[in-house]
């Protein structure tokens, strides 16, 4: 069990995925008792997963930077990674911004019920695309951290 909990795969992939699943469940059980237990909006977790991936990458960079201050050999081994990490963080942030813009522009369907106007998430542009982006981002970050 110690090997599982101490592995990078568990730390950087399983923990965010478990957190995402728990987030979906918490959204569902926090609703009123007479509400539908699962609705499609509950499965719109991609943007949150992307934020988690960015924070994981940033946390890893901070850990590497702290170790580099103490060990100059480690600094020489990781200097290129630390230099490139600012570009990676910038790219991940712009990607998140772009996906959130896509959701804002294409991901909502306007519905009129009587005199009330509501907005409903579209399955493809509002849920599938952001979720795929979040999962891809998390996989990329885990692969970068694992190297």
* Tens digit of each residue's pLDDT (9 = 90 or more) over 39-96: 788 788 889 889 989 998 999 999 988 888 888 888 888 888 888 999 999 999 999 9
Say what the pTM is. Answer: 0.79
CA distance 107 to 128: 10
CA distance 80 to 125: 36
pLDDT of 102 strictly over 80: yes
85 Cβ neighbours under 8 A, 6+ residues apart: 57, 61
pLDDT of 122 strictly over 90: yes
CA distance 78 to 83: 9
Strands of the chain (E only): list them. Answer: 108-113, 116-121
Half-sphere exposure of 61 (CA within 13 A, CB side): 19
Question: DSSP letters of 67-107?
Answer: HHHH-HHHHHHHHHHHHHHHHHHHHHHHHHHHHHHHHHHHS
Q: What angle (nearest 5°) sits at the alpha carbon of residue 61, between those of residues 72 and 131?
A: 160
| Mean pLDDT value across the chain | 87
Question: Domain-by-domain residue ranges, the chain?
Answer: 2-146
Rg (CA), the chain: 19
Q: In this predicted structure, what is the pLDDT of residue 147?
A: 62
């Amino acid at each position: 069990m110690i090997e599982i909990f101490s592995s990078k795969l568990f730390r950087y992939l399983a923990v965010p995925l478990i957190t995402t699943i728990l987030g979906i469940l918490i959204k569902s059980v926090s609703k009123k008792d007479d509400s539908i237990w699962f609705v499609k909006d509950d499965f719109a977790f991609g943007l949150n997963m992307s934020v988690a991936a960015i924070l994981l990458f940033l946390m890893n960079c901070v850990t590497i930077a702290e170790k580099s201050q103490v060990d100059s050999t480690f600094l020489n081994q990781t200097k290129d990674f630390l230099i490139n990490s600012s570009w990676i963080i910038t790219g991940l942030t712009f990607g998140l911004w772009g996906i959130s813009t896509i959701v804002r522009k294409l991901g909502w369907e306007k519905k009129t019920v009587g005199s009330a106007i509501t907005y409903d998430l579209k399955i493809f542009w509002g849920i599938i695309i952001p979720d795929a982006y979040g999962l891809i981002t998390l996989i990329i970050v885990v692969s970068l951290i694992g190297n």
